[in-house]
A and B are shown apart, each in its own frame.
Chain A
């Protein structure tokens, strides 16, 4: 009886308790969904809709009327015309290739320096001293890109900048605005700007590496370099993939830096020097939003493909 008495309520409890738990979970899900609504609304308004409109607009072209073009302009359906034009746009694809080559050289250097800085900071015993270095390295990232470019344009100036003067003192002709040195100048500027940001991400990941493993390695006689190479770097491979992805995406979109350098060396930095400059020129100089939209879609597709390829390649290596 007792067992019946005791078991029956137990069954009742189980039966009775299940719906509230499900209800609680459902309520929590609804609350979670509610909290995410503002994000999705914003995402829809500032991301999905504009992209959808850009895709729509890329299938039209603006045509003037009247011999002088003063009779008004109307949007005419162009089908894939803008995409066909884009595929044969030598200036646009040259800018893609130009930036891709630059990225292949610049990104490993930039990430290598960020990784080195992060590893050095991770090895610093004093947390306070480490914090000071982290802040100092992050300061350039806080400087707006256009301001940073202006600073470096002055530093690079062959007329008043210190680099040319220092080169002259050593008997070396240094002109960072010359066609041969311009990419070096832009690359250095980008490294200066993003080093701290990538360093911070990598450093955060390094702090998550199991300290007992590092201690064990030290006990086994491993030095700092050996620990970094064999334990820390493999442990943060995922983070390196992430920073690599961010760098690839950012690199194909460089705009502010070369735009400012165009004033210093327009024979090298042409109006379509980078893909974004080409798109900007079409949209705001030629006022051809439709063609600019088509170029933007193509650029987005290329960035997406490259990012996917990079991710697949690096994660496959990780698996193997």
Chain B
């Protein structure tokens, strides 16, 4: 039945795609006709992306863009895979998180290294590096996620604490709060291993690293295992809660209850918390992500969003130019960064300081608002991201299974990482992709 549904969906999407793209991807050539591009985005960013497209079309009569909204990352992935198989993929699309390299491997997107440069240093260097894999460029970066902690000052202050600056300090404070007030200091949902990934990123791990002749897999690297140890200590000391995103109301109630001292977040999430917290609004302050050892050597984990150019487009150069405009034009980035009419995205331009104030929620941060811009700016300056891998999404699904087991103390985090090392190497090898080191 699943195969039936799958194939029916594939045919339906293919048919739809034929109709939709029949009038797109027209090469202007020398005829003077406008180039027509099709651009697929995801619903959560649709409002800002549509506004960007409208502005582009107004300013660029020679390249006209049609915007198509997909409901979610999952829908985008399925639709792209089917449209690619049918040969009718959109010219440009938002790459669902984790797919930047695998889409290139699977022939969904193409290497755009001949069209994308950073000679004018418009892009933040970290963002530009993120899309480089070996000699290839997998997409055009358009947003980042500077990572920091939100701390409940009322809860921490009740114990005489301020925001922890290192993970050792975090552990000491969290144990005290747990023992004296049953306060949790990390919420680790079973379906989301991003805490582990963030910590491993900060500690310098690379789960996938492109070498000259193959991928170096680093789930069991010393850096990764050290990050795992930090989380293991928190789990063992019962400092961790496990509220899931599927129980959204309960999650928001818990976050705002004062029973959670802090959580890791980024700018795009802050307006959501402000809208959903029923209490403790105004008690929250931003603080740097705790450092591995010396706060002066802070590394803040981050990741990037990118647009991909389809392998079948006849207008790759125009698509790259349009994507570059979406990511770096001041008017365009202001539109997408808007917290009300846009998508609260943090731009990847070299100087992003001018966007920070507008991204910070005034009510949630209350009296702590004035300190927040410097925290965000430092998170941007000290950001580090892992590169994505060719089987990252499949590996993440496997990681979710094992991560949840670690949270229920069925296995240790070290065992999770060792399993992931073994699984990833085997998976890459089965796909005829080389693994080195």
Residues of A within 8 A of B (CB): 45-47, 50-51, 53-54, 62-65, 67-70, 72-73, 153-154, 157, 159-160, 249, 253, 255, 260, 262-267, 270-271, 275-276, 279-281, 283-287, 292-293, 296-297, 299-300, 303
Contacts and interface: CB of A to CB of B under 8 A. Distances in A.
Contact of B107 (A73, A249, A275, A296): A73
Nearest to B135: A70
A43 to B, nearest CB: 11
A285 B397 contact: yes
B4 A68 contact: no
B3 A286 contact: no
A54 B391 contact: no
Given A47-B4, A160-B253, A267-B401, 11 more contacts: A64-B105, A68-B133, A68-B134, A68-B215, A68-B434, A69-B215, A263-B246, A264-B244, A266-B400, A284-B78, A287-B106
Contact of B11 (A46, A68, A255, A279): A46
A54 B404 CA distance: 34
Contacts of A299: 2-3
A157 B250 CA distance: 8
B411 to A, nearest CB: 10
Interface stretch (B49-57, B206-214, B282-290): B206-214
A153 B401 contact: no
Q: Which are the 7 A-B pairs with shortest beta-carbon distances?
A: A50-B7, A296-B3, A159-B250, A267-B404, A69-B433, A263-B246, A266-B404
Interface in B59-105: 74, 77-78, 81, 101-102, 104-105
Contact of A286 (B11, B391, B405, B432): B391
Given A69-B390, A279-B3, A264 B246 contact: yes
Measured as residues with beta carbon below 8 angstroms from the partner, the interface class of chain B is: 35 or more
B7 A253 contact: no
A149 to B, nearest CB: 10
Contacts of B2: 253, 255, 275-276, 279-280, 296, 299
A62 B190 contact: no
Nearest to B214: A67
Interface in B166-183: none
Contacts of A303: 1
A121 B75 CA distance: 42
A63 B191 contact: no
Given A266-B404, A284-B78, A69 B1 contact: no
Contacts of A70: 101, 104-105, 111, 133-134, 136
21 contacts: A46-B11, A47-B4, A53-B7, A64-B431, A67-B213, A69-B433, A69-B434, A70-B133, A72-B107, A159-B254, A160-B249, A255-B2, A262-B191, A263-B244, A263-B246, A266-B403, A284-B74, A284-B78, A285-B393, A292-B6, A296-B2
Given A255-B2, A262-B191, A267-B407, A68 B210 contact: yes
A271 B404 CA distance: 12
A285 B394 contact: yes
Nearest to B390: A69
A286 B396 CA distance: 11
Indicate the member of A249, A262, A293, A299 with the most B CB atoms within 10 Å.
A262
Nearest to B111: A70
Contacts of A160: 247, 249-250, 253
A73 B105 contact: yes
Given A68-B134, A284-B78, A51 B390 contact: no
Nearest to A278: B2
A14 to B, nearest CB: 52
